Amino acid sequence: MKYNPRVNDAIATRPEFAQLHPYTPDELAQGALQVMYELERSLSSLFGMAAFSLNPSAGAHAELGALLIAKKYFKDRGETQRDKVIVPDTAHGTNPASAAMCGFKVISLPSSERGRVGVEEIRAILGPDTAVCMMTNPNTLGLFEDDIAAIAAAVHEAGGLMYYDGANANAIMGYARPGDMGFDLMHLNTHKTFTIPHGGGGAGHGPLGVAAHLAEYLPTPVVAASPRPNGETGAAPSDRLTFSLDFDRPKSIGPLRSFWSNFAHAVRALAYLYANGAEGLKRVSQLAVLNANYLRVNIAEFLETPYVEVCRHEFVASAQALKRDHGVRALDLAKALLDYGYMAPTIYFPLIVPECLMIEPTETESKETLDGFIAALREIVEQAKSNPQALLDAPVTTVVGRVDETRAARQPDLRWRPG
Ligand SMILES: Cc1ncc(COP(=O)(O)O)c(C=O)c1O
């Protein structure tokens, strides 16, 4: 999870971008098309893919697009019997949901005791009906799938495609590329990896990447670049190239949404990429991983961490023992953290860890903030043992206190009224 510098919002809301009408002819929108072109090229090189579509509005939307591509690809090859999608049990719920929406049958693959996918286990379920294997790497336990090359080789040998869920891409930037790991399709959540506020139901952005053999299936439109008649070679792209939206792609799965998708997010993402540069992005990954491991080692002193090894940008802890011995759940710890002024971590995900807290610090957190978080969580855990009832009422300092979770989900009331 990344930090969202406000400057990127300032750039995206400049009138040249924000007031551009989606029907503006290509020749009058060269700057905006260039932004999309440069973002597409940058993502392709950073993640080792042949091409990206900036069309999808979120990670889940891109998953759907990728699986539609896989379906069309296999149909063109006369392999319509490939109707199974393999999804490890650590995957985000959108993975099996997207596969099911596309009409595939979902095969759930249990993780090994190391919290990873095993090569032999996957080999055992591969066959002529395998369409796609969807993997997140590092996975949602924060662990790098160290057998990924062998897994990709086995899936390819069986004739299937590899899909990379890039929600955790901020852990690997500049170090490893999904294309090099053997993935054929992937998505990024630019609202997770490259600035753009995440959560709150706001608009997202999910670029969809493909290897060369799938490029012709990408959603339309694709931003195309052609040399300017009298363009100077070696000058800036805008001097050398003319940009246009290409809708004429006979094998495309078609548009996934209207117009240019969430264009302002493309501007934010490119601004973040260029501000950091190649070395800066590497540093983002380094610091995200360092911060997560600092928290993991310190929190392990007072809370169970089921996977005791170096993690990537996130790790999982469990409140299972606190629940058993004191009736205090992961939910209660998360609510209590709000009283200490910290954003609560993701809870009850991944599903394979009981009473799970999935903790994912951004790369920009200072040591003071991380130490403050550790101290707050330590105090909460001590309180869970000495005075559990107090935690069951948390949060007590926020505008809205403990809500009935089921009613809040079924009958959301999103207005705030003073008093
Ligand atoms: C691992 C993983 N995959 C996929 C998604 C879905 O992404 P989005 O919320 O952009 O649809 C998420 C979202 O949190 C995620 O964490």
What would the pLDDT profile of 347-383 be if each residue is shown by its tens digit?
Answer: 999 999 999 999 999 999 999 999 999 999 999 999 9
Q: What pLDDT, on the 0 to 100 scale, is given for residue 236?
A: 73
Q: What is the dihedral of CA 246, 250, 252, 258, to 10 degrees?
A: 50
Task: Evaluate if residue 234 carries a pLDDT over 80.
Answer: no
Q: What is the DSSP letter of 304?
A: B
Q: What pLDDT, on the 0 to 100 scale, is given for residue 200?
A: 56
Q: How far is the CA of 140 from the centre of ligand 1 (A)?
A: 10
Q: What pLDDT, on the 0 to 100 scale, is given for residue 196?
A: 77
Q: How far is the CA of 1 from the centre of ligand 1 (A)?
A: 11
Q: Give the containing element (helix H, strand E) for 70.
A: helix 59-76
CB of 207 sitting under 6 A from ligand 1: no
Average pLDDT, whole number, for the chain? Answer: 94
Task: Evaluate if residue 100 carries a pLDDT over 70.
Answer: yes
Q: What pLDDT, on the 0 to 100 scale, is given for residue 408?
A: 86
Q: How far is the CA of 59 from the centre of ligand 1 (A)?
A: 5
In the chain, ranges of CATH 3.90.1150.10 domains: 279-391
Tens digit of pLDDT for each residue in 218-232? 999 999 999 987 766
Q: How far is the CA of 358 from the centre of ligand 1 (A)?
A: 14
CB of 350 sitting under 6 A from ligand 1: no
State the greatest distance between any 2 C-alpha atoms of the chain, in Å, as a whole number.
Answer: 77
Q: How far is the CA of 94 from the centre of ligand 1 (A)?
A: 7
Task: Evaluate if residue 1 carries a pLDDT over 60.
Answer: no
CB of 142 sitting under 6 A from ligand 1: no
Q: What is the dihedral of CA 351, 359, 399, 203, to 10 degrees?
A: -80
Q: How far is the CA of 26 from the centre of ligand 1 (A)?
A: 32
Q: How many angstroms separate the CA atoms of 139 and 115, rounded? A: 9
Q: Report the topology of domain 6-276.
A: Aspartate Aminotransferase; domain 2 (3.40.640)
CB atoms within 10 A of CB 55: 27
Q: How many angstroms separate the CA atoms of 215 and 233, rounded? A: 27
- Identify the residue whose tokens are 């101290």: 375
CB of 140 sitting under 6 A from ligand 1: yes
Q: How far is the CA of 407 from the centre of ligand 1 (A)?
A: 24
Range 381-387, long-range pairs (CB < 8 A, 24+ positions):
381/302, 381/303, 381/322, 381/333, 382/302, 383/336, 384/322, 384/326, 384/328, 384/332, 384/333, 385/322, 385/325, 385/326
Q: How far is the CA of 301 from the centre of ligand 1 (A)?
A: 30
> If DSSP codes are grouped into helix, strand and coil, which group holds residue 67?
helix
What integer is the mean pLDDT of 339-352? 96
Tens digit of pLDDT for each residue in 138-173? 999 999 999 999 999 999 999 999 999 999 999 999
CB of 4 sitting under 6 A from ligand 1: no
Q: How many angstroms separate the CA atoms of 3 and 340, rounded? A: 21
> If DSSP codes are grouped into helix, strand and coil, which group holds residue 247?
coil
CB of 209 sitting under 6 A from ligand 1: no
Buried b (16+ CB within 10 A) or exposed e, 394-416: bbeeeeeeeeeeeeeeeeeeeee
Closest atom of ligand 1 relative to the 61 alpha carbon: 11
CB of 94 sitting under 6 A from ligand 1: yes
pTM of the model: 0.95
What integer is the mean pLDDT of 326-342? 97
Q: How far is the CA of 167 from the centre of ligand 1 (A)?
A: 6
CB of 151 sitting under 6 A from ligand 1: no
**Cis peptide leading into residue 25 (ω within 30°):** no
> Going by CA atoms, what residue is nearest to atom 7 of ligand 1?
59
State the pLDDT confidence band at 299, using cuts at 50, 70 and 90.
very high
CB of 136 sitting under 6 A from ligand 1: yes
Range 279-391 has CATH code 3.40.50.720: no
CB of 360 sitting under 6 A from ligand 1: no
**Beta strands, E only, 247-382:** 315-318, 346-347, 356-359
Q: How far is the CA of 150 from the centre of ligand 1 (A)?
A: 25
State the pLDDT confidence band at 73, using cuts at 50, 70 and 90.
very high
Q: How many angstroms separate the CA atoms of 62 and 189, rounded? A: 9
Pocket-testing residue among 92, 101, 164, 262, ligand 1, by greatest number of atoms within 8 A of Cβ: 92
In the chain, ranges of CATH 3.40.640.10 domains: 6-276
Distance of CA 121 to the CA centre of its chain: 25
